[in-house]
Structure 1
């Protein structure tokens, strides 16, 4: 494996990642964190608080196109052939993303008239990492094949498209049960950015044609930009002090230097005793980056014939290292990258959840051989639609689920999800309430666990809360 392939090996490894869908947690009303997915969900307890740093951990990682196994499997095939096949298979709209969340603290309580506490206030603070990047197809082809075999082909520079955020979110939510049929909720959010790297507005092409004064003529149409915040002050500090950097990062967790605002909305509507619909829109908001900014821009249009960027053969008397060093010096003189501190705004990835649900099966009482009319339904089935807005359009998933209240204090939910990455994503979640302590564990894509390296996505959620139950 040559050094020029290393960046793309890294990209393929990152391809083992996924989006932000929490299809198992959504609608699991015993768990307080469902209010983060639908602030208008049903609330059946009078209060809760999350065990600090343990109430909710979420990791969701996966992607489209190829898996790690496609490239690194020990199947007797040459690595270079498998690597080239993977690059050829991947397309510019194939993406890779990773989402991680850690709840630092959370809580909530019901309030309202003493006979009918139909309002619920929830609050908390969580840290989130969110990365999405699209496969830079033409960059990879140019690095692998060079331009000699692609004369006249315009390599599209907009294939470089990514955004990475590390932030904290302070939130307060309001939930009200208006009547027996309709519940709504809203949640306000203050975003505190810790880091951001953003490169989603790239344009231009690079084309090589047969030249007149040299073998080849190179046509550059460049409009590239990488915007960063929160990084420059750390990496450009000559007097590096790890403890001081940690203190700086801690200060950014709550009301840090780059702030934003957002909100969530949601509802639940009970059609009849057994059918209901619900839905939500999440993260309608933005972060304005105004401090610790360092942007890199490269904008130019020109034609150049001064170099001949052909990969050298070993018998030409020039080593690859000598060739690339000379080429690097030429390009440093050729391209002038502007560094700016221009402020910028990044919109949050808006998410949609919607579901149609049917509940059935009453608990049967042994002493009278009759149904417990006030005990609720034991089973529930339904379908959920999820979508998230990304730089190149919507990413969507459709989930069918079965929920079962096994016995008092123990519930389970099984899901089957179809999305751009897999048609066989089966998940399972379990929630247990023991003396007021709520414990839950959720994971999906079980069919891929027999060969985890061939999985398109993996998701894990777990947490601990204490719940104050209603008297009735």
Structure 2
């Protein structure tokens, strides 16, 4: 039973997919995925297939792997209990990874000023969130013998997960020197979905009428799945078939949905800029390979009498415990249905205010060079993502610097519900049209990844033709 608690804690290892290093880093074309209304700096680009954008993050809001498994003088059971008791039912896990399969973009318009831009791509994403089921963990650790009349909240169990692919096309227009806007349409294809977020009820043990204890379950629990039942069938359990099924669903053979992104950039002055975006206003309709499970009602269990029976020569203790198991399993009626359902994508909001300074000047004179872009920028960015219980929010301060024409860096300091010392660093370099970028969060925690609360990494390769090239 302690293994259940350990697994739950080990899964509690990732945070929301905030990409504060990529947002506003407009030298990288993939920043348009976060704000389709960002200012575009290239005439056209294409991402190197499968490696143009790879993103993954991991972290924990409270206890870390090191807290539980550190080789110190503290007893393991004590460390496990401290970890469970320090966490709250609102602590959550979010696992997110994203891989671009292909991407590209090109500018168009009149020959003097190409002020419109089309971007497109296809990526695979996995997004999982689960809240820490604290009452379940405490029940496993302590048992119910010393917790008579205590109600354990069944609603602490909330989980939602999905693997999907996304095909997207975006339109960006620079209306004038001050205002740029953009929109992006998305077509989702869900590979697998698991959804159990509307759970409620309780479990309580009281003194029994016909036995020592009475166990009362008052439950309203549900689990909705799509794309999972067929993968678990015995006749489709071999790996080749599973891979073929995944491929078909990735390329629009799964449950489909639609989404929309929108964003803008507005220059208040030559140096002050504000921008904002909303992403993943969308839904997926689950109608294929759907299997749902539900338990609803009040159930009471007092065990088999007598509690310690005398066994005849043809009975064994295994028979006795098998009877208890059978009776307990028959207590709950699990309703299985194939009802279609709809899930909504987690909406993400970004907004920032930016100040640019330090225009490039020639070495031999005090005149401005033809490169009129500012070399530095500082700003504040606010991020939020809507989740089943409450939004996750983060605030980031950043500094951006163009070291020279082919090299830009960005440093960030982020405060969120996990940490007050998240320092990140991003680098983008370009040579002969080939761009390489690397963005990493929580640099101070890389010295001991087992004790890290959050580690995030983004990497990619693009080929870019910039507007200022002939």
Scaled by the length of structure 2, what TM-score is found? 0.95
In the alignment, what sits opposite 1:214? 211
| SS of residue paired to 1:247 | helix
1:34 maps onto 2:39 in alignment:
no
- Give the whole-Å Cα distance in 2 for the aligned partners of 1:465 and 1:263: 25
1:86 maps onto 2:83 in alignment:
yes
Unaligned runs of at least 5 residues, structure 2: 308-315
1:366 maps onto 2:363 in alignment:
yes
Contact map agreement 1:121 1:175 (CA 8 A) in 2: yes
Contact map agreement 2:301 2:331 (CA 8 A) in 1: no
Between 1:181-190 and 1:145-154, the stretch displaced more is 145-154
1:457 maps onto 2:454 in alignment:
yes
Which of these residues, 283, 300, 303, is aligned with residue 300 of structure 2? 303
| SS of residue paired to 1:264 | strand
- Give the whole-Å Cα distance in 2 for the aligned partners of 1:321 and 1:77: 38
Q: Deviations over 1:393-450 (max 9, x none)?
A: 1000000000000011100000000000010100000000111111100101011112
Which of these residues, 172, 177, 189, is aligned with residue 175 of structure 1? 172
Give 1:248 shift: 1.4
Between 1:238-247 and 1:171-180, the stretch displaced more is 238-247
Contact map agreement 2:98 2:124 (CA 8 A) in 1: yes
Unaligned runs of at least 5 residues, structure 1: 311-318
| SS of residue paired to 1:34 | helix
- Give the whole-Å Cα distance in 1 for the aligned partners of 2:46 and 2:169: 14
Give 1:371 shift: 3.0
Give 1:340 shift: 1.2
Between 1:6-15 and 1:210-219, the stretch displaced more is 210-219
1:377 maps onto 2:374 in alignment:
yes
1:135 maps onto 2:110 in alignment:
no
Contact map agreement 1:167 1:194 (CA 8 A) in 2: yes
Q: Deviations over 1:37-83 (max 9, x none)?
A: 00000002111100000100000122212111111111111111110
Pair 1:325–1:113, CA change in 2 (3 A): farther
1:8 maps onto 2:5 in alignment:
yes
In the alignment, what sits opposite 2:227? 230
In the alignment, what sits opposite 1:264? 261
Which of these residues, 186, 200, 204, is aligned with residue 183 of structure 2? 186
Contact map agreement 2:442 2:456 (CA 8 A) in 1: yes
Between 1:450-459 and 1:172-181, the stretch displaced more is 450-459
In the alignment, what sits opposite 1:242? 239
Contact map agreement 2:396 2:415 (CA 8 A) in 1: yes
Contact map agreement 1:427 1:446 (CA 8 A) in 2: yes
Contact map agreement 2:230 2:236 (CA 8 A) in 1: no
In the alignment, what sits opposite 1:411? 408
In the alignment, what sits opposite 1:315? none
In the alignment, what sits opposite 1:69? 66
| SS of residue paired to 2:446 | helix
Matches within 5 A, 1:50-129: 50-129=47-126
| SS of residue paired to 1:452 | helix
Give 1:326 shift: 5.6
Give 1:207 shift: 1.2
Q: Aligned pairs, how many?
A: 460
Contact map agreement 2:419 2:453 (CA 8 A) in 1: yes
Give 1:356 shift: 0.5
- Give the whole-Å Cα distance in 2 for the aligned partners of 1:364 and 1:117: 27
In the alignment, what sits opposite 1:160? 157
- Give the whole-Å Cα distance in 2 for the aligned partners of 1:85 and 1:140: 12
In the alignment, what sits opposite 1:21? 18
Pair 1:170–1:179, CA change in 2 (3 A): same
Between 1:238-247 and 1:162-171, the stretch displaced more is 238-247
Superposed CA RMSD: 1.8
- Give the whole-Å Cα distance in 2 for the aligned partners of 1:444 and 1:210: 53
Between 1:241-250 and 1:397-406, the stretch displaced more is 241-250
Matches within 5 A, 1:248-327: 248-306=245-303, 327=324
1:340 maps onto 2:345 in alignment:
no
1:354 maps onto 2:351 in alignment:
yes
Contact map agreement 1:410 1:432 (CA 8 A) in 2: yes
| SS of residue paired to 2:386 | strand
- Give the whole-Å Cα distance in 1 for the aligned partners of 2:243 and 2:318: 38
In the alignment, what sits opposite 1:329? 326
Contact map agreement 1:362 1:373 (CA 8 A) in 2: no
| SS of residue paired to 2:146 | helix
Contact map agreement 1:19 1:62 (CA 8 A) in 2: no
Query: Which 4+ residue blocks in structure 1 deviate beyond 4 angstroms?
Result: 319-327
Scaled by the length of structure 1, what TM-score is found? 0.94
Which of these residues, 434, 437, 451, is aligned with residue 434 of structure 2? 437
| SS of residue paired to 1:252 | helix
Pair 1:349–1:124, CA change in 2 (3 A): same
- Give the whole-Å Cα distance in 2 for the aligned partners of 1:241 and 1:201: 33
Give 1:143 shift: 1.1
